Amino acid sequence: MTLAPRQLALLVGLTLAWGINWPVMKLGVTHYPPLTFRAISMVLGLPLLAAALWLQKLPFAVPRAHWRELALLTVTNMFVWHLVVVLAIPHLSSGRAAILGYTMPVFSALWGLLVFGDRLRARQALGVAAAALGVVLLLWHEFARVAGAPVAASAMLLAAAVWALGTRQLRATTIPLPTLTLSFWMTLATAVAVCAAAALFERAQWHWPNAPARAAIAFNALLVFGFAQVAWLVLARSLPPIASTLSVMMIPVLGTVGGALALGEALHWQDAAAAALMVAAIASVLWPARTSAAGAPRG
């Protein structure tokens, strides 16, 4: 398959925003309580989503008949992921947290095979294998450290599996509303839940954020919840499941490199090899297939 120019622009912006955000988020939760950090970021991002809906004259209302499905999509696409990641990242390096989170394409392929009746073509299967090997290489020097934080590492893998399921469900949804409308309500519901958790567990730690925390909150509000989350949902609804999941596999590479540059986390040759494998994984689903004489795609 090929990407339309708009999809390509969304993918590039999404990759940069989410890739850079891993060290940014690590910096933020180092200086501020994690649940409160996430809650403030989401609340500040909501007006941007509302303004985008208003400017584009898109509907805000969701018919009651779709509330239950929207609630399920919120849990699997946003709530579990955003809650678990922000609690796990203080115990993991930013790059390796990104790597564990972006095992998602592997889980997505497994969900497809086990639940959704997918059949992977040879090139798609090679892409999933390349992504999985790339993840292993990126974690090569972190296995001992991850083993020392088993709860955080296991939680990240669980979040990745749930997010992968949510992506498949979003692709199959029959809710007849724009993706931006769904994103607004999913973000609002998740923000309410995270705010409640922050008030319950972190109220005694509340204080005015310092400069690094304020910068990290602003980055998340503007670029993560104001843009990247919506961009991802648009791609997840418009691209085939394997294409949408493997197409974002440069994000953990950016997270690893960003963590090395900004936070002094170590880089190794395995990281370069993993980057090449991630590029191969992306190419396996986005590179146009050859066409046979009869006009059928091959490869």
The CA angle 145-106-22, to the nearest 5 degrees, is 50
Contact 46, 187 (CB under 8 A): yes
Beta strand 290-291 with 297-298 is antiparallel
Bridge partners for 227 per DSSP: none
Tens-digit pLDDT profile for residues 233-281: 998 888 776 666 767 777 777 877 777 777 776 666 666 776 676 666 6
Q: Provide the token pair at 61.
A: 């209302």
Tokens of 194: 């995270």
Say if residue 125 is exposed, middle or buried (CB neighbours under 10 Å; 0-12, 13-18, 19+): middle
pLDDT at 296: 41
Tokens representing residue 145 in the block: 């450290």
Between residues 52 and 155, which one has the greater pLDDT?
Answer: 52
In angstroms, rounded to a whole number, what is the distance separating the alpha carbons of residues 45 and 61?
A: 19
Answer for the pair 115, 172: CB distance below 8 angstroms, yes or no. Answer: no
Residue range 144-182, pLDDT digits in tens: 565 556 777 788 888 988 998 999 899 889 899 999 999
What's the pTM?
Answer: 0.82
Q: What pLDDT, on a 0 to 100 scale, did the predictor assign at position 124?
A: 67
Please provide residue 219's backbone torsions phi and psi, each rounded to the nearest 5 degrees.
Answer: -60, -45
| Residue 121 pLDDT > 60 | yes
Mean pLDDT confidence for 84-102: 83
Q: Is 199 helix (H, G, I), strand (E, B) or coil?
A: helix
Q: Which two tokens stand for residue 82?
A: 């955003």
Residue 142: its pLDDT value, please? 60
DSSP string, 249-270: TTHHHHHHHHHHHHH-----HH
- Say which residue, 47 or 153, is predicted with more confidence: 47
Is there a contact between 84 and 159 (Cβ–Cβ < 8 Å)?
yes
